[in-house]
């Protein structure tokens, strides 16, 4: 991963140092489990816990000869031990250690990601409540439609992130798992009790059945879930980018003193943060294809998934961690312009109230077709001639014969469209 997009805690989790530390944690737990079963002397298991060490550079030296990272690791660890070294890696195969340690590291990564998601949800809740009554125009197909509020827009994001949290918890539990069942998953040389004890000690689940490796559909589901969360961030960021356009300018990423938007144009203030996470979402989705292709392995395993996972698991978790953190900062510092939001509602000459007028005419006794055909030519006239819609309505005798001035006034009141905002917020648990 690029250092530019790697936050320190996640970077440490996926460091080579932590990889070997996780392998060692598994190896120690295996020996302690054997000791409980009476296979390994308790004193030897205690010596292994007290004295087992590894050296990253030394492992690299050994691997240059063995061309096998686990063999290099176990030989290096054995160099730090006495006669008890014979119990290192006893009864297990490489992937018993690698996959179980990976489940352990994913648990560490998931703790970071879950905290990121929870933080973003809290920020969205605060913004939704702050701007609950801040009226703005809703847009469909990029065209002004009817009034809504900025708080409702944010509330939709809040609901989506709540769903993402549920998805994440389910998918994360799937990969926070281990297996210590031997070369083809039969427990031939290591009993299930060892697997159970090791996984319990590491705080992960024991996978009910495995081959030499854990089933990779778990990891495909997990990476796809991370990509979906990243896609949500892209969705939100795209909205901010659109609302920051000069022609709309209803929100703006905060621009710090001394910040520069362009090397050529001094006036530029660009939504670079939102653009950044949009681009990273594309990279994140790219990891899903690889995760899916890793599911299909030969027989009880091959190693084709290994090289790919060394890239996509650190990459997907690291990218999402960065995206969640950066987007949360964007929202926390977002500049919002309520007066511009209200002013933009009038840029289409009051046409945003056409449906309300249509419904009032239907209530007055007209058929829907007749009411529609009465209102639409007036909307076209207002748009084509750049005239206010309401005076054209008030000058139309067919309409005034059916609607009183008070009814017309009510049709052009944006508050009507917002009368159920509180009810929607209550449905989301944002209001009591």
**Contact by Cβ (8 Å): 128, 111:** no
Nearest to 176 by CA among 138, 205, 133: 205
Separation CA 381–CA 360 (nearest Å):
20
**Residue 200: enclosing H or E segment and its boundaries?**
helix 192-202
**Contact by Cβ (8 Å): 101, 23:** yes
Helix (H, G, I), strand (E, B) or coil at 309: helix
**Contact by Cβ (8 Å): 399, 127:** no
Q: Specify the residue for token string 């005239």.
A: 387
Residue 260: exposure state from Cβ atoms within 10 A (0-12, 13-18, ≥19): exposed
Nearest to 55 by CA among 86, 11, 96, 24: 24
Separation CA 86–CA 84 (nearest Å):
5
- Which residues, 6 or more positions from 416, have their beta carbon under 8 angstroms from its beta carbon? 356, 410
Q: Using the Cα atoms of residue 26, residue 30, residue 32 and residue 33 in order, give the sign of their dihedral.
A: positive
Number of residues assigned to the chain:
432
Catalytic residues: 141, 262
Nearest to 168 by CA among 240, 214, 86, 107: 107
**Contact by Cβ (8 Å): 232, 239:** no
Q: Which ranges of 345-367 would DSSP assign to H, the alpha helix?
A: 354-363
Question: What does the DSSP 8-state code read for residue 415?
Answer: G
Write the DSSP string, 239-280: HHHHHTSTTT-SEE----TT--S-SS-TT----HHHHHHHHH
Question: What does the DSSP 8-state code read for residue 386?
Answer: T
Q: Specify the residue for token string 């987007």.
A: 327
Q: Specify the residue for token string 């492992």.
A: 59
């Amino acid at each position: 991963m690029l250092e530019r997009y790697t936050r320190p805690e996640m970077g440490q989790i996926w460091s080579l140092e932590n990889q070997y530390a996780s392998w060692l944690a598994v190896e120690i737990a295996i020996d302690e489990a054997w000791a409980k079963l009476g296979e390994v002397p308790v004193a030897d298991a205690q010596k292994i816990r007290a004295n087992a060490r590894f050296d990253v550079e030394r492992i690299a030296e050994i691997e240059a000869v063995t061309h096998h990272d686990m063999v290099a690791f176990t030989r290096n660890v054995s160099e730090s031990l006495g006669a008890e070294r014979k119990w290192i890696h006893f009864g297990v195969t490489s992937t018993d250690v690698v996959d179980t340690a990976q489940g352990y590291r994913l648990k560490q990564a998931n703790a970071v990601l879950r905290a990121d998601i929870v933080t973003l949800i809290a920020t969205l809740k605060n913004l939704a409540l702050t701007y609950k009554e801040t009226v703005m125009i809703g847009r469909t197909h990029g065209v002004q439609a009817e009034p809504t509020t900025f708080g409702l827009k944010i509330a939709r994001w809040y609901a989506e992130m709540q769903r993402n949290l549920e998805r994440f918890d389910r998918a994360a539990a799937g990969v926070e798992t281990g297996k210590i069942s031997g070369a083809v998953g039969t427990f031939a040389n290591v009993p299930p009790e060892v697997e159970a004890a090791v996984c319990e000690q590491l705080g992960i689940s024991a996978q009910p059945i495995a081959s030499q490796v854990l089933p990779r559909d778990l990891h495909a589901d997990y990476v796809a879930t991370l990509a979906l969360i990243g896609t949500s961030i892209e969705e939100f960021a795209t909205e901010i980018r659109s609302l920051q356009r000069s022609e709309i300018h209803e929100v703006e990423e905060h621009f710090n003193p001394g910040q520069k938007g362009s090397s050529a144009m001094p006036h530029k203030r660009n939504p670079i943060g939102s653009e950044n996470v949009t681009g990273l979402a594309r990279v994140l989705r790219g990891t899903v294809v690889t995760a899916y292709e890793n599911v299909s392995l030969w027989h009880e395993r091959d190693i084709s998934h290994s090289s790919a996972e060394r890239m996509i698991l650190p990459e997907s978790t690291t990218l999402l961690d960065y995206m969640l953190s950066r987007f949360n900062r964007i929202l926390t510092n977002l500049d919002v312009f309520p007066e511009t939001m209200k002013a933009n509602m009038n840029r289409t000459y009051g046409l945003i109230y056409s449906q309300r007028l249509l419904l009032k005419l239907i209530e007055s006794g007209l058929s829907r077709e007749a009411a529609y055909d009465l209102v639409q030519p007036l909307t076209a006239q207002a748009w084509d001639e750049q005239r206010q819609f309401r005076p054209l309505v008030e000058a139309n005798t067919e309409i005034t014969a059916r609607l009183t001035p008070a009814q017309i006034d009510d049709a052009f009141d944006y508050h009507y469209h917002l009368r159920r905002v509180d009810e929607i917020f209550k449905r989301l648990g944002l209001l009591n």
